[in-house]
C-alpha cells in the first residue's frame, strides 16, 4: 500500500517535471511566457517545505536550480537581460528555500517538544497512579517478611527463601520510589552547599558497591570552590546516581574518577568511567524516561538527573573519553561564583 510520504514525494516530483517540460516545450521566442512559468516553481518549493522540512526544501531548490541551468545551456545565446534575470531568480529561489525550510524545521521542533511534554505529563500521571497502588502491598510484604524472619531459627531451611522475598520487595520499593520521584514535581530547597563535600558523601555511599565490583575510586577536587545555592539532597541524588552508573559500567581493576573544577562563571563536575562506552543508538535515548540497558531498574535514573540539574539552571551532558573503548564522561555544569548571588 502506498504511504503518505510516497504520495507527497510523487506530487512534488510531478510538479517539478511538469513545470520544467512546459518551459522546455515553449518556444524560445516566447521568453516572456518562460518568466511566468518559472514562478510556478514556488508551488513545489513551498509544499516541500511544509511536508519535508529543510532537507526536502533544499533538495527541491537544488533540483529547480539544475533545471534552470540546463535550460540556460540549451538556449544560451549570449548574455542578455533575460539571462541575468534568470540568475537572479535562481539566487532568490534558493534564499527563499533556506528561509522556508528553516522556519518549518523550527516549527517542527517546537511541535515535537510540545508533544514530548504532553507525553511525559501523561506518563508521569500514569506512573504516579501505578506506583501508589504498588506501594501499599509492597510495604506489607516487606513488613510481614521481616516479622516472620525474626521468629525463625537461623538454621530453618525456609529462611533463605524469605530472605529472597525481602530483598526483592526492597528492590521493588526502590523502583516505586524512583517512579514517584519522577512523577512528583520538583520542589527545590536551595541553600549554600559545598559541592566537594557532596561529592565526598556520594563516594562514601558508593564505596561498598565499588569494592564488590573490584573498581577503584579516585577524586580530583578543585580548590577554592565556593558555596553554591543547591538543593543538597537532590544534587546528592544526582551524584550518587552517576557514580553508581560509572562503577557498574567499569570492569574490575579499572578506576572511576570524579573531579570538580571552578571556572570563571560555572562549576564543572565530571564523572568518568572506564566501561565499554555508549553506542550511537543509545546516545539518542540516554535521557529518555524508561530507557535502560540494565537488567534491573526502570530507566528513570538519568531522566531524574537531567530534570534535577535543569531545575538548578545547569546542564548535564556526556561524551566519549579520548579512547572510545575507555568509557564515558558525564559532565554537570552548574552556575558558579559569577551567578551565585543571583
Instruction: Give DSSP secondary structure letters for 201-213.
Output: HHHHHHHHHHHHH
DSSP calls for 43-66: HHHHHHHHHHHHHHHHHHHHHHHH
More confident residue, 189 or 278: 189
Distance CA 342, CA 190 (A): 12
**CATH architecture, range 191-339:** 2-Layer Sandwich (3.30)
pLDDT one-digit tens code per residue, 186-214: 778 889 999 999 998 888 888 888 888 89
More confident residue, 166 or 30: 166
Give the pLDDT score at 326.
Answer: 79
More confident residue, 66 or 183: 66
pLDDT at 135 over 80: no
- At 108, is the secondary structure helix, strand, or coil? helix
More confident residue, 142 or 213: 213
pTM of the model: 0.53
CB 306 within 8 A of CB 316: yes
More confident residue, 74 or 334: 334
CB 328 within 8 A of CB 249: yes
pLDDT band at 297 (very low <50, low <70, confident <90, very high): low
Bridge partner list, 139: none
Burial class (CB in 10 A: 0-12, 13-18, 19+), 161: exposed
Question: Residue 190 to residues 181, 224, 234, 307: CA-CA distances in angstroms?
Answer: 18, 20, 10, 15
pLDDT at 184 over 70: no
pLDDT at 21 over 90: no
More confident residue, 179 or 115: 115
Bridge partner list, 221: 260
pLDDT one-digit tens code per residue, 154-167: 778 777 888 888 77
pLDDT band at 331 (very low <50, low <70, confident <90, very high): very high
pLDDT one-digit tens code per residue, 200-256: 888 888 888 888 889 988 989 888 888 989 988 889 888 988 998 889 888 888 889
Mean pLDDT of the chain: 79
CB 88 within 8 A of CB 121: no
Give the pLDDT score at 338.
Answer: 40
pLDDT band at 333 (very low <50, low <70, confident <90, very high): very high
CA 112 to chain centre: 13
Distance CA 202, CA 332 (A): 15
Task: Specify which of 91-95, 131-135, 166-170 reaches the highest per-range mean pLDDT.
Answer: 91-95
pLDDT at 86 over 50: yes
Least confident interval from 181-185, 270-274, 283-287: 181-185
The stretch 176-185 carries a mean pLDDT of 67
Could you tell me the sign of the dihedral formed by the alpha carbons of 24, 29, 33, 34, in that order?
positive
Give the pLDDT score at 341.
Answer: 39
CB 252 within 8 A of CB 268: no
Amino acid at each position: 500500500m502506498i504511504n503518505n510520504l510516497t504520495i507527497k514525494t510523487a506530487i512534488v516530483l510531478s510538479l517539478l517535471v511538469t513545470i520544467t517540460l512546459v518551459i522546455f516545450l515553449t518556444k524560445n521566442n516566447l521568453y516572456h511566457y518562460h518568466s511566468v512559468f518559472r514562478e510556478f516553481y514556488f508551488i513545489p518549493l513551498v509544499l516541500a517545505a511544509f511536508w519535508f522540512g529543510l532537507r526536502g526544501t533544499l533538495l527541491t531548490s537544488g533540483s529547480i536550480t539544475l533545471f534552470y541551468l540546463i535550460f540556460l545551456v540549451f538556449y544560451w545565446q549570449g548574455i542578455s537581460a533575460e539571462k541575468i534575470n534568470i540568475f537572479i531568480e535562481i539566487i532568490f529561489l534558493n534564499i527563499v528555500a533556506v528561509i522556508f525550510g528553516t522556519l518549518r524545521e523550527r516549527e517542527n521542533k517546537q511541535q515535537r517538544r510540545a508533544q514530548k511534554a504532553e507525553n511525559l505529563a501523561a506518563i508521569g500521571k500514569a506512573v504516579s497512579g501505578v506506583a501508589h497502588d504498588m506501594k501499599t502491598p509492597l510495604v506489607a510484604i516487606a513488613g510481614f517478611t521481616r516479622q516472620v524472619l525474626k521468629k525463625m531459627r537461623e538454621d530453618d531451611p525456609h529462611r533463605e527463601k524469605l530472605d529472597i522475598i525481602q530483598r526483592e520487595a526492597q528492590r521493588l520499593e526502590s523502583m516505586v520510589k524512583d517512579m514517584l520521584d519522577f512523577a512528583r514535581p520538583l520542589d527545590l530547597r536551595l541553600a549554600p552547599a559545598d559541592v566537594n563535600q557532596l561529592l565526598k558523601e556520594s563516594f562514601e555511599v558508593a564505596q561498598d558497591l565499588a569494592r564488590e565490583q573490584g573498581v577503584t575510586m579516585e577524586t580530583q577536587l578543585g580548590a577554592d570552590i565556593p558555596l553554591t545555592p543547591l538543593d543538597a539532597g537532590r544534587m546528592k541524588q544526582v551524584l550518587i546516581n552517576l557514580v553508581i552508573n560509572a562503577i557498574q559500567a567499569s570492569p574490575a581493576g579499572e578506576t572511576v574518577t570524579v573531579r570538580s573544577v571552578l571556572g570563571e562563571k560555572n562549576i564543572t563536575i565530571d564523572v568518568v568511567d572506564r566501561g565499554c562506552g555508549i553506542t550511537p543508538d543509545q546516545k539518542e535515548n540516554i535521557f529518555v524516561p524508561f530507557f535502560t540497558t540494565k537488567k534491573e531498574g526502570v530507566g528513570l535514573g538519568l531522566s531524574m538527573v537531567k530534570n534535577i540539574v535543569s531545575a538548578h539552571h545547569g546542564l548535564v551532558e556526556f561524551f566519549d573519553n579520548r579512547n572510545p573503548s575507555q568509557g564515558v564522561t558525564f559532565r554537570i555544569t552548574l552556575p558558579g561564583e559569577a551567578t551565585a548571588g543571583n
